[in-house]
Amino acid sequence: MRADQDWCLECGTAAPGRLGARPGWRAAFTVVGLTTLLLTGAVAASYAALTGDAQREASRPSAGAGEPIIAQTPGVGQGSKPVAPGATGPGTTAPPLAAAKPPPATAKLPPAISSPSGGATNTPLGSGGGSSSSSGSSSGGGGSGPSDDDSPSSEPQTIKLSADAATTYDPEKRAGAEFGPAKNAVDASKRSVWDVTVPVDNEPIGAGLVIDLGARYSLRTLTIDTPIPGFDVELYGTKSTKIPSDLLDPRWEHLTDRNGYDDGSSITLKGRAKGTVRYINLWFTQAKNAEDPRIAIANVTVTATK
């Protein structure tokens, strides 16, 4: 080969030093050492994994045989002989106490017997079945008359209204409103009416009729006779001796409302007021026919108790 050639053109042999020096023993030892180190690490990791699985398997609780566990009585082992009733000592219970005798039954009073006066008396013990009655009082000063609830005044009664008991109530002074005679609403005649007519403007009627009961009463019912039913009305009451001049006056107490009132139907007022009432205000808000906004009242009837 020439000096500048790296390979023989005939045999293909490389020039001296072209392929480098042969690896020595040092390189061989290095490869063997690294391989041994890797094998040792793999063996150690496998051992650690197997040891951990074995420990977890050993620490797992036993599934058991599936049979229920029966609690044992403290101090009594299995195979012990049953304790005879009434025995005492460790592992036994004291005999039950004797049941207490019930107290003697007390004598019961016979059923009450109504007396002619509406009361009730009982047959005295040892009287041989006889009965006694009282007519509001008994000898010896122990009787009493009928209670207030049984007195005739506690029964609801129709209030007799005076001829001037009704008054037109128009605090808003609505322009264009026209009213009929208020006395026609309490004259007990269905042929004469108190009425109110307002302009056709889709506004509330905004007027009312106040009834003077003449005294304070506990209200029960109110009935309106009307030839034009279907109106909406709000009911208010006051115990004041004078009619409040405005509907917003706190002396007016709101009792109830009725929409689409039907002729002659009864409106329940019992329990609506906090106490007794002297004046009732029928405040009309809407007529049935918006094209003819008119309310007509032929008669008002009120039942109450003193």
Q: Concatenated DSSP letters for 19-58?
A: S-PPP-HHHHHHHHHHHHHHHHHHHHHHHHHHHHHHHHHH
Contact indicator for 122, 112 with CB cutoff of 8 Å: yes
Cβ burial of 298 (10 Å; 0-12, 13-18, 19+) is buried
Domain ranges of the chain: 162-305
Distance CA 17, CA 158 (A): 142
Per-residue pLDDT tens digits of the chain, which is 306 residues long: 787 888 788 888 887 776 654 555 667 788 888 888 898 888 888 887 787 766 666 556 555 555 555 555 444 444 445 544 444 444 444 445 455 455 555 445 444 444 333 444 343 333 334 333 333 333 333 333 333 333 445 799 999 999 999 999 999 999 999 999 999 999 999 999 999 999 999 999 999 999 999 999 999 999 999 999 999 999 999 999 999 999 999 999 999 999 999 999 999 999 999 999 999 999 999 999 999 999 999 999 999 998
Q: Which two tokens stand for residue 176?
A: 């264009």
Helix boundaries (H) for 60-125:
none
The pTM of this model reads 0.52
Residue 221: closest CA among 163, 174, 145, 280: 280
What fold, for 162-305?
Jelly Rolls (2.60.120)
Q: Which two tokens stand for residue 67?
A: 């049979």
